[in-house]
Structure 1
Amino acid sequence: MTSPDADPSRPDRPGSPSAGPLISTAVTAELLRGALELEAGGRGVIPHRLPAWARAQGADGQLLMAESQPSGVRLAFRTRATAVELDVVPTKLAYVGAPARPDGVFDLLVDGVLTGQATVPAGDVITIDMASGTAETTPGPVGTARFAGLSDADKDIEIWLPHREAVELVALRTDAPVTALPDRGRRTWLHHGSSISHGSDAASPSTTWPAVAAAAGGVELTNLGFGGSALLDPFTARAMRDTPADLISVKIGINVVNHDLMRLRAFVPAVHGFLDTIRDGHPATPLLVVSPILCPIHEYTPGPCAMDFGRIAEGQLSFRATGDPAEVAAGKLTLSVIRDALARIVAQRAAEDPNIHYLDGRELYGEPDADAYPLPDLLHPDAATHRLIGERFAVRAFAPDGPLSPKATPGEA
């Protein structure tokens, strides 16, 4: 799997932290977890969280941006290396008039423990003007995430890629050979959700709430959380149908409301259809349907949701609900309406499907939490709240008596 650089006797490149020659290893699917597909790019390979056929059917700019951001995707290998370098081209987002976004973080986990972090200021930049609906891309150079000073013992290495920056992987270099991380017998968890599951406002990729929950539950995560794009798309359900998984969860609701996408008459059969498609490939896999966490602006007020440009002018990103609560009677959706509908749907299906379960999202973040953990932009949880939600999900879902516990998995004791 490994091959030496063109000149195996060369010293490290200037500024490299390693003391000896580095070995180049091709970045292949064998070394990646959490991606459904790898695309050949102009300089390397690009991990995707939806396959090409699904991207073609969902050719929406927001979805394509979200699925290309590798939330939950990580390189995973075993090595004695004391130094690791990863050449990448991140794609950064900048919004006209909004505060600058920090560079994405690369998390280094050694034997499951967060050991180092790196950022790569270089890369391409997409500048988005929300007022005009335009975007402009400025190409940038390759940058390097470097980690050094590691022990020379055999160890499991994971490099979690930034959850809010698309990343083209150009080169992996180490000062010792690497092999793909062996199967540790952990169950695989496939999760789908919105920007909150994607990781908006989490501190780093291994601290999004799904990553926190996966670590606590001892499961391997594939995160199909797509910012602004958890919209019951049939192609997403088919991608989940075709992805191997021991455990599945879907978090449904907030994007349907803030896009003002459909009315209650369409929502109920759309949920059934989404779940039916997943069941076509996973007929008996434990399946947890999770309703939205508390979001006060949309609890009783329908969408659409819009940026609050008045607060943006003051340097604060914020959102507001613009719908009319009086229209709920005509079928417009709010989070309270969606929770009631999801609870009824799951109860109906559970009569014939003993492996489907429901979790009210307010058990993860609810009214008692709003004062201690306010949503900074009125829509997304902050870093501390991501950890809180992840820990609570692990207790409710992966605990011995939870719906995604080992005893709930078909075929296991």
Structure 2
Amino acid sequence: MNDSWISTPITADLLRGAIDLEHTEHGVLPHRLPAWARAQNTDGQLAMAESQPSGVRLVFRTRATAVELATRPTKRVYVGVPPRPDGVYELLVDGRPAGRASVTGGNTLTIDMVAGTHEHRPGPVGTLRFTGLSGEPKDVEIWLPHNETTELVGLRTDAPVEPAPDRGRRVWLHHGSSLSQGSDAAGPTSTWPALAASLGGVELINLGLGGGALLDPFTARTLRDTPADLVSFKIGINVVNADLMRLRAFTPAVHGFLDTIRDGHPDAPLLVVSPTLCPIHEDTPGPLAPDFSGLGSGSGQLTFRAMGDPAERASGKLTLNVIRDELARIVAQRAAEDPNLHYLDGRELYGEADHAELPLPDQVHPDAAGHRRIGERFAERVFTADGAFADRGV
């Protein structure tokens, strides 16, 4: 390490997109749910997802020409599934892409989806380095991996660092499922919410929680308590594939979720987004189950299948089409007294024609091209002049 380099403590004023910072033995761990909400959660999948820093980035102003970031990532290993690529860190300088890197090593979380078990093994700290930057004052952003829990151990630069100034951009707070967290996006700035935020000129706080968009009250209260100018939530796919509730429970749960958000954001533009197209669940209820047959056939692709019976819709089981109809009805009912409440059919972001062109590789999640399509569509429909989040200068 260069002896002239400066170590800067990683504090909340250098981070955007995180809800909470947990102080660990070696550094800090960004969280996307606060400690009180984590204490109410008993689901290991949600605990893993909220600790994966989708949309979280280090942001600072500096003249530094070189930056080092020491982290301890947690790598996920799924039994019987090909290894996952290392998480990607992306560098932006004055808002423009300037580099990508990964950190090897770190902790390992081995997950057996069939047995429902997991094993955690600790590992070493790693370091990524960006060099050759301009010596001029500049805003530097390091976006953390959207799908890899990342303990931040140390920040070193060859010039002093200070928090970046507030550029006056509106803050967009979004909640959704693994699609919103980023699933198979190419990197943290390429998840569909990150792309839409960039195109819309807003600051993103992404509460996309893989497997965890389940109308949990503690998530609603987190949305309520997080300062924001614009709020959206995309709901449906996890409720179906977890086979969590029937229509009788879903309707009041959505109303309660909206009521709680409105307690903290009474007048903010609030957008409810229904599920994007997912053919296996359009008219077939959950639960969802992994299908390992593609691995044995040589395709190397884990896929998923819907295990429910379409006939069970009559008894209140949920499908994506049932949920879309009910969300549209709820929003229309409430919008009569809440003019800042809006609805967007998710199939406007990814529908039949998009699926024909960009099919879902595992039957559930879009690939990198799908994320780009969804992000661009969202920006076009929501941030433009007639959209729910258009900047009307109010």
Could you tell me which residue of structure 2 aligns to residue 356 of structure 1? 341
Secondary structure at the residue paired with 2:214? Answer: coil
Q: Which amino acid aligns with 1:331?
A: G
Where do 1:275-294 residues align within 5 Å?
275-294=258-277
* Equivalent residue number for residue 167 of structure 1: 150
Q: Residue 190 of structure 1 corresponds to which residue in structure 2?
A: 173
Q: What amino acid is aligned across from residue 120 of structure 1 in structure 2? A: V
SS at match of 2:226: coil
Match of 1:270 in 2: 253
Identify which of 184, 192, 200 aligns with 1:217: 200
Distance, in Å, in 2 between the alignment partners of 1:398 and 1:181 is 25
For 1:346, the equivalent position in structure 2 comes to 331
Shift of 1:263: 0.5
User: In the alignment, does 2:178 pair up with 1:178?
Assistant: no
Aligned to 1:321: 306
For residue 311 of structure 1, report the CA deviation from its aligned partner: 2.0
For residue 232 of structure 1, the aligned residue among 179, 203, 215 is: 215
Is 2:386 the partner of 1:379? no
Equivalent of residue 108 in structure 1, options 91, 94, 109: 91
In the alignment, which residue of structure 2 is the partner of 1:86?
Answer: 69
Cα deviation code 1:40-80 (max 9, x no counterpart): 11211000000000001112100000000000000000111
**Aligned counterpart in structure 2 of residue 334 of structure 1, from 319, 337, 351:** 319
Whichever residue aligns with residue 31 of structure 2, its letter is: H
Once the two structures are superposed, what CA deviation does each residue of 1:383-402 show, in whole Å capped at 9, x if it has no partner?
A: 01101100110011111221
- 1:333-366 deviation digits (Å, cap 9, x = unpaired): 0000000000000000000000000000000000
Aligned to 1:42: 25
1:143 alignment partner AA: G
Correspondence for 1:3: none
The letter of the residue matching 1:174 is T
1:77 to 39, 51, 60: 60
User: 1:369 pairs with 331, 334, 354, which one?
Assistant: 354
Letter in 2 for 1:236: T
Taking structure 1 as reference, are residues 312 and 42 closer, same or farther at Cα in structure 2, changes over 3 Å only? farther
Which position in structure 2 is the counterpart of 1:64? 47
Q: Please give the alpha-carbon distance, in whole angstroms, between the structure 2 residues aligned to 1:346 and 1:58.
A: 28
SS in 2 for 1:370: helix
Q: Distance in 1 between matches of 2:309 and 2:94?
A: 51
Deviation at 1:261, TM superposition (A): 0.4
| Secondary structure at 2:301 match in 1 | coil
- State the partner residue of 1:8: none
CA distance in 2, matches of 1:145, 1:337: 47
The answer to which of 257-266 and 130-139 deviates more is 130-139
Q: Return the alpha-carbon distance in structure 1 between the equivalents of residues 97 and 176 of structure 2.
A: 25
| 2:43 equivalent to 1:55 | no
Distance 1:216 1:41 in 2: 35
TM-score by length of 2: 0.98
* Structure 1: runs of 5+ lacking an equivalent: 1-11, 14-19
* Cα distance in structure 2, aligned partners of 1:111 and 1:25: 20
Deviations 1:203-238 (A, max 9, x none): 100100000000000000000000000000000000
Q: Answer whether contact 1:294 1:361 (CA < 8 A) is retained.
A: yes
Question: RMSD over aligned Cα, in angstroms?
Answer: 0.8
1:210 aligned counterpart, secondary structure: helix
Unaligned stretches of 5+ in structure 2?
A: none
Q: Could you tell me how far 1:312 is from its partner in structure 2?
A: 3.4
Q: Is the 8 A contact 1:97 1:313 kept in 2?
A: no
TM-score by length of 1: 0.94
TM superposition shift of 1:406:
1.2
Q: What SS does the corresponding residue of 2:134 show, helix, strand or coil? A: coil
Tell me, yes or no, if structure 1 residue 305 matches structure 2 residue 288: yes
Alignment length, in residue pairs? 392
Q: Which amino acid aligns with 2:98?
A: T
Aligned to 1:245: 228
| Aligned position for 1:156 | 139
Fraction of identical pairs, as percent: 71
Q: Secondary structure at the match of 1:116?
A: strand
Within the alignment, does 1:33 sit opposite 2:16 as a pair?
yes
